[in-house]
Amino acid sequence: MAPRLSDHSPGFVSFGKAWRGRPPFRSHNYWPKHESFVEVIQRGWEISIPDTEQYKLITTFNISLVVHGTVAESNDFQKENENPYAVPISMDIFKVLESPLDITTTTIIKRIVSNHEAYQVCCASYHCSCCFAS
């Protein structure tokens, strides 16, 4: 302010450090004593977090269903520390499907390797019918 208009001059007063961003989380002793505390905490762990890569992938590609077959390399995914299906389960878009055949990724890979080896043995002779047309 101009000194001839007022005898007051602007000032800046600071009462400590100003918070930037989110305020810190504070826990109070009475929360664990509340009757629905455990239920609220459990529900909180079941919610999918929109910042996870899985959530972003599912929402970006508008995936409406994630499935897991009953025949798999490992069906212990729900016992693991990090369940790979946790986000789809929390979004209620996960389903276990009955596998019609007893085929896993390992059996498919073994078949491909076996067929490739058989092809190489067959084509080792220059007169095989599968490699050279007559």
Model confidence band, residue 45 (pLDDT cutoffs 50, 70, 90): low
> Three-state SS for 98?
coil
Mean per-residue pLDDT over the chain, rounded: 75
Model confidence band, residue 69 (pLDDT cutoffs 50, 70, 90): confident
State the Cα–Cα distance between residues 56 and 68, nearest whole angstrom.
Answer: 20
Least confident of 63-67, 94-98, 113-117, 124-128: 124-128
Q: Residue 96's closest CA among 64, 69, 65?
A: 69
Give residue 63's pLDDT: 92
pTM, to two decimals = 0.42
Helix (H) or strand (E) run with residue 96 in it: strand 94-97
Identify residue 130 by its one-letter amino acid code: C
> Three-state SS for 124?
coil
Give residue 134's pLDDT: 46
Task: Please say whether the beta carbons of 69 and 97 come within 8 A.
Answer: yes
